[in-house]
Every structure is written in structure tokens, then in C-alpha cells.
């Protein structure tokens, strides 16, 4: 499973975008509540908040990803997404 978290560290509060490439899922852009991340998350720094929104739009419009809400307190997609199959 390849899950990436795109971070905009220069923006306060810090915001992130969670992307699961294996299931083609993308989260909303959200404020980070927990600053410790699960080890399976690959962290990628983005320049600013606009870069996060641009990445999200690109995945939704061009790559047919699905927008899923996440658990912001754990930086994870919900368990019911485990059954989600790529297009």
C-alpha cells in the first residue's frame, strides 16, 4: 500500500493532503491535529496551501481518484475504505 501525505509546512496551522495511490483515494485538505505520522506514510513537502489544492484537483479531475473524508485525529482513511477497489 502506497500512502503519501503532502504537507505545507510553511503554512500555520500546518495543512496536509492524504493520498492512497493503491486505492486511488484522496482526502480533503485538512489542518493537521496530530503531528506524529504512521510509519507507512511517505511525507512529501509542498510549497503552500495552493499546491495542496492543486494536487487534489489534479488527482480528482485527471486521474479519477475518489474523494474520501479521513480521520483527522489519526491521519488515516477510515477502515471501510479497505474494501475500495480502483476504477
Write the pLDDT tens digit of every residue in 4-47.
999 987 778 889 999 999 889 999 999 888 777 777 788 999 98
Q: How far apart are the first and last CA of the chain?
A: 16
- Whether residue 87 has pLDDT greater than 70: no
Reported pTM: 0.85
- Helix locations, the chain, DSSP H: 49-61
- From the list 37, 38, 44, the residue with the least C-alpha distance to 6 is 44
pLDDT for the residue numbered 71: 83
Write the pLDDT tens digit of every residue in 44-79.
999 899 999 999 999 999 999 999 988 888 888 888
pLDDT for the residue numbered 75: 83
Amino acid at each position: 500500500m502506497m500512502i503519501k501525505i503532502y504537507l505545507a509546512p510553511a503554512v500555520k496551522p500546518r495543512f496536509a493532503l492524504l493520498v492512497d495511490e493503491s486505492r486511488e483515494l484522496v482526502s480533503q485538505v485538512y489542518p493537521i491535529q496530530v503531528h506524529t505520522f504512521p510509519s507507512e506514510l511517505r511525507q512529501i513537502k509542498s510549497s503552500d496551501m495552493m499546491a495542496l489544492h492543486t494536487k487534489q484537483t489534479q488527482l480528482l479531475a485527471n486521474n479519477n481518484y475518489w474523494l474520501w473524508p479521513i480521520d483527522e485525529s489519526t491521519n488515516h482513511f477510515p477502515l471501510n475504505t479497505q474494501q475500495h477497489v480502483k476504477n
